[in-house]
Amino acid sequence: MTDGYYRFPTIHEDTIVFVSEDDLWSVPRAGGMARRLTSNLGEANYPALSPDGELLAFVGREEGMTEVYLMPAGGGSAQRMTYLNQRCQVLGWSADGQYIHFATTHGQFHPDEYAIYRIAANATAGQVAPVPVGPARSIAFGPAGAIVLGRNTGDPARWKRYRGGTAGHLWIDRSG
């Protein structure tokens, strides 16, 4: 696979997973032949490999709105994890690999406002819990518990050099 539009890469050790042609693909970090992991009718986006590299969380659109799915990183059947019927985006995993974090418009008053939720990787599908950080579109966890939140960070082109109230912000909590 040399030609194409490659998006949303996620890396774990020697494995890279990315999106092309609305499907997930895997390729060795050293290069070589890419292997298609999904071949669904709907699109797949925002992949995130688990910290141990065994599982792959992603957003799929099989029946209407996007939902969070989970599958073995080497390929196989995907399990639908959410039933929110709202836009969502997988953000990543907790450091211990127990939770998948994702941003969604579920439960928000404004249709373009996102909040962060999590679901246990071994949970029964649909058991989501909000992460109590307020409206945010992205989150990252530091090794010592620090948290970085992205607020109003949907499309940088929309707020580049903009100084009004919806400009993007990064909030940092060093203590977690």
Q: What is the 3-state secondary structure (H, E, C) of 17-30?
A: EEEECCEEEEEECC
pLDDT band of residue 1 (cuts 50, 70, 90) is low
CA distances from 65 to 15, 22, 105 (A): 29, 15, 11
Specify burial of residue 112 (Cβ count, 10 A radius: 0-12, 13-18, 19+). exposed
Average pLDDT, the chain: 86
Residue 70 has pLDDT above 70, yes or no: yes
- Please give the structure tokens belonging to residue 145: 């518990």
Q: Tell me what pLDDT residue 79 has.
A: 92
pLDDT at 106 over 90: no
Q: What is the pLDDT of residues 129-172, one digit of tens each?
A: 999 888 888 888 877 777 787 776 666 666 667 767 666 667 67
Q: What is the CATH number of domain 7-135?
A: 2.120.10.60
Which residue ranges does the chain devote to CATH 2.120.10.60?
A: 7-135
> Distance (Å, rounded) from C-alpha 50 to C-alpha 12?
8
pLDDT digits (tens, 9 = 90+) for 15-48: 999 999 999 999 999 888 999 999 877 899 999 9
pLDDT of residue 142: 79
